[in-house]
Amino acid sequence: MSDNESRLRPGDRALVVRAAIGGVVVLALVVAGLMLPHPGIATVRGWAESTGTWFVVLFLVAHTVVTVFPIPRTFFTVSAGVLFGPMGILLCMVASTAAAVIAFVAVRAVDERHPSAVLARIREHRAYVPVAARLRARGWLAVGSLRLIAVAPFSLVNYASALSPVCLWPYLAATVAGLAPGTIAVVLLGDALTGESSPWLVVVSGALMAVGIAGLLVDARLPASEKA
């Protein structure tokens, strides 16, 4: 690999810097959550535990349906940690993956059969162009790197992937692998806000954020070749 290929391109450099800043902010919130008392949040956790299985199912369905649309998933991820503790990791992974697949299949079907003004608006979104360029250059690997740290909106990555040549099964695998580190880290943040979690979760959360940033950095340094 030549020196030019190994250097970060300006757009990739901005993504890595943004990801690093986001990771530091999340880690600081985890530390604050462990150090500050939150009796009200602990009460909410107790209420959630007393409601039984139906509330878990309702949360899972709501998370899946809402995040198919361009609505940030962070609220659900943090809430899962607050309400369900570590079990929230599984709930968020299942719901987010299901939402990503539903959005991908729906947008691709509409784009293939009935191109519409809605899809035109997706393509005109200012954040769409760099995401689409990364998908053309990296294919399904770009899906994973864009999921590692939320440098682009979750829904936009779903829609842009559907409008790219990326196939469903590689997209699904890359989505699961890419979402895991950040999802676990943020759910642990929510868990820490109850004041009942172990201080070691700070280390775990920080390590997971570092994995996400490192993955994005490695991807950004790899040479790219345009794909049809």
Residues 144-157 have a mean pLDDT of: 84
What's the mean pLDDT when you consider all of the chain?
A: 78
Task: Copy the structure tokens of residue 42.
Answer: 């602990």
Buried-state track 174-187, b at ≥16 Cβ within 10 A, e below 16 = bbbebbbbbbbbbb
pLDDT tens, residue by residue, 63-103: 999 999 999 898 899 899 889 988 999 999 999 999 999 99
Name the range with the highest mean pLDDT among 16-25, 32-41, 74-83, 168-177. Answer: 168-177
Using alpha carbons, select from 147, 151, 205, 153 the residue that is nearest to residue 177.
Answer: 147
Write down the pTM of the prediction.
0.78
Q: Which of 6-10, 101-105, 106-110 has the lowest mean pLDDT?
A: 6-10
Residue 146 pLDDT: 87
CA atoms within 13 A on the CB side of 132: 14
Sign of the four-CA dihedral 214, 216, 221, 227 = positive
- Residue length, the chain? 228
